[in-house]
Chain A
Amino acid sequence: MTTHLSASDLTCRRGGTTVLTGVDLTVEQGSRWAIVGPNGAGKSTLLRVLAGIDHADRGEVRLRGRPIEQFRLRDRAREIAVVSQHEQPPADLLVRELVVLGRVPHRSPWSTARDDDDLAVSALARLDLGGLADRPVDRLSGGELRRVLVARALAQEASLLILDEPTNHLDLLHQHELLAMVAELDLTVVAAIHDLDLADRYFTHIAVVHDGGVAAQGDPATTLQPELVRQVFGVHLTRIAHPSTGDLRLLIDP
């Protein structure tokens, strides 16, 4: 396995408080990392620094072995696509137009590639969203908008996908659908996830962020230990077998 993205000794101060201290992370090609942690643990800052749209005060992020600052902005954007938590595109933008924005890093600002529109439509089709292409974005549900933003990431043709709380405000079915869809994309994924069960189920690795540092990382089964979860989240965790499938599931109790 080759290393896709790595962070070493990341430290970030924002407005006088230290948000991240000494974070080390190595993301292999094709792995899917869930970043979990309580509110304010530094998940969003970590993702922004990993995506290269924010900079660390100390330490460095390497993309394919090269320091991320050395990439031209456009080259970096062809490598990393970001789906953020708060994006609210202009209401009267059509879905197809929103997805075409993913082509921005693939062309100089003053040129229009003729096949951009086709790529956008095929990205939508890949996620079964073809029927939404001509809908204005304000007529989308929250779940549809997240999936459309993933389609934009596909149109961006990046191999690394960074998702900030992709399942926030989605109903249960859409949470599962979105993460299952992302898992099938054959991309390297780093996502901030609130729900430990979703993180456990859809990701190959978990990093537990606590007080600006990584408290534990590795595969889900060994990382989400009851003792650690109690310390970090203040809840009790039990792994039990699903009565009909036998898969291990997480039970959370206060």
Chain B
Amino acid sequence: MSRTSDPRRVPVPVLTVVALVILVVSLPIATALGSTSIPLGDVVDVWLARLGLGPDSSATSDTIIWNIRAPRVLLAAVVGAGLAIGGTAVQTLVRNPLADPYLLGVSSGASVGATAVITLGVLASAGSWALSLGAMIGAVVAAATVFGIAAGQGGLTPLRLVLTGTVLASAFSAIASYLVFRSEEPQAAQSVLFWLLGSLARASWDQLLLPVVAVAIALIVLVLFRGWLDALMAGPDVAASLGVPVAELRVVLFVLQALLVGVLVAVAGGIGFLGLVVPHVARLLVGPLHARMLPIAALAGAIFLVWVDVAARTLAPPQDIPLSVVTGVVGAPVFLMLLGRRRYRFGGEG
């Protein structure tokens, strides 16, 4: 990588270190901020004590810091990284810059599952896991349906995937709307809307493990297959002539994004714009090769969502603002700016 002399690009190692530092500094600051602010010193004391790196903290806010805020901040980082990675995977799969992680129907399927839990009380035996479980089941069903229809019609080509995903997303949204409409629960509509727009309010240490595993697996697999992904980005025929098993690679990408996005939606609901915009920003900074842009996208997504969640918690206390409200307000202008860059296009289907 030492020979990248393109002046428009930032060296990857430098950027990685900078992003890591920003993330590590952001975590305790974000933990301190909230509807009630906590002195940063207390936060650091509690974190160090809990990690076995310092004396037991006597801070009175120990519970808030460790049981409520810390898992939430960490979940924000993990979900942010995951959405950026998922967005990259879907954009490469369908060779389309307007693709986001929710394009292929996974999230709308999840919303049907979550809505069924909220309005019908299904899966009540799963307790606090019911919402996540319902969303996950809905996501898997939706992904399998999109996959089955696209594969049955001749293969996971970009156009077929986008059309199938979009059409099925409308169908699933219709089902979810019907469930809300016929519900007699007065709060149902608001609960569903809140979930659909993304929230980390239910974050707990228990909920952290699954997304961490999903994001780690996705990142590792994508980085392992970076050469093939770069070739696929240049076009399916190019990839085929370079010896890439295009059909099989598309199946791997589809399954990977379905599992990753399914898990993320299950723990955090739908968070708009992040998975669309962050991969673009990473490509602008370090270029489109996956080995370079994936780690940067993951770090940028993590930092971004940590601060989005801070905004969601602090702008209108004591209420949480849904995350998509914040990402939409920030993301839309950023995306329009990106579109305004003449040279920014992706693949041949632009």
Contact = CB atoms under 8 A, between A and B. Distances in A.
Physical interaction between A and B? yes
Interface of A: 48, 51, 53, 72-78, 80-82, 84, 86-94, 96-98, 101-102, 104-105, 107, 109-110, 112, 117, 134, 136, 138, 156
B287 A105 contact: no
Contact of B241 (A53, A107, A109): A53
Nearest to B288: A90
Interface in B267-308: 283-284, 287-289, 291
B5 interface: yes
Interface string B220-247: 0000111110110111011011111100
The prevalent SS among residues of B at the interface is loop
Contacts of A74: 243
26 contacts: A53-B237, A53-B240, A73-B243, A77-B241, A82-B241, A87-B348, A89-B347, A90-B234, A91-B345, A92-B287, A92-B344, A93-B288, A94-B4, A94-B6, A101-B234, A102-B242, A104-B231, A105-B243, A109-B226, A109-B228, A110-B227, A112-B227, A112-B291, A134-B4, A134-B5, A136-B343
A170 to B, nearest CB: 18
B335 interface: no
A96 B230 CA distance: 13
Contacts of B182: none
B94 to A, nearest CB: 14
Contacts of B343: 91-92, 136, 138
A176 B92 CA distance: 36
Contacts of B66: none
A133 to B, nearest CB: 9
Contact of A92 (B5, B235, B283): B283
B294 to A, nearest CB: 13
A87 B242 contact: no
Given A92-B344, A104-B230, 12 more contacts: A73-B245, A77-B241, A84-B238, A87-B234, A89-B233, A89-B347, A97-B289, A101-B234, A104-B242, A109-B225, A110-B227, A112-B291
Contact of B235 (A88, A104, A138): A88
Contacts of B6: 94, 134, 136
B227 A109 contact: yes
Interface size on B, as a range, is: 35 or more
Given A87-B348, A90-B234, A94-B6, A81 B228 contact: no
Among A90, A91, A92, A134, find the residue whose CB has the most chain B CB atoms closer than 10 A.
A90
A33 B145 CA distance: 47
Nearest to B92: A90
Contacts of B345: 90-91, 138
Contact of B228 (A87, A98, A104, A112): A104
Contact of A88 (B4, B226, B227, B347): B347
Given A109-B226, A109-B227, A90 B347 contact: yes
A81 B243 contact: no
Among A77, A86, A109, find the residue whose CB has the most chain B CB atoms closer than 10 A.
A109
A87 B348 CA distance: 7
B348 to A, nearest CB: 3
Contacts of B287: 92-94, 97
Contacts of A75: 243
A74 B237 CA distance: 14
A117 B242 contact: no
